[in-house]
Amino acid sequence: MVSDALTILNRKRVLEFANTNRLPTIFETGVMVRDGGLMSYGPKQSAIGETAAGLAARILRGARPADLPLELPTRFELLINLKTAQALGLTLPPTLVARADEVIE
């Protein structure tokens, strides 16, 4: 699912619907997994903030925004909620769980 403002603001309802209907969910951000989603894979949010802060600092030091390069995320993270997997009756491969950056048990 796309993690836009509408989804984030209504995350409790989205997750309740998905879990009630036994629908596995995959999101872009970890906040949805911490609230009960199955898993997420996407850019590490703290790294995006660090990049944005660096760009803002360069602009405040006099750099022209048009001269700054386009930067894409380079660090990604995988979060898995094992409680949700168990509630959905899913068994996740141990190799997938081992690769996760964060596992919620």
Domain boundaries, the chain: 5-44+76-104
DSSP for 51-74? HHHHHHHHHHTT--GGGSPP----
Query: For position 3, what pLDDT does the model report?
Result: 79
Query: For position 103, what pLDDT does the model report?
Result: 97
pTM score of the predicted model: 0.82
pLDDT per position in the chain (105 positions), as tens? 887 889 889 999 999 999 999 999 999 989 999 999 999 999 998 999 999 999 999 999 999 999 999 989 999 999 999 999 999 999 999 999 999 999 999
Six-digit token pair at 11?
């995350």
Q: In CATH, which superfamily holds the domain spanning 5-44+76-104?
A: Response regulator (3.40.50.2300)
- What are the Cα distances from residue 47, in Å, to 7, 44, 73, 91? 22, 5, 8, 31
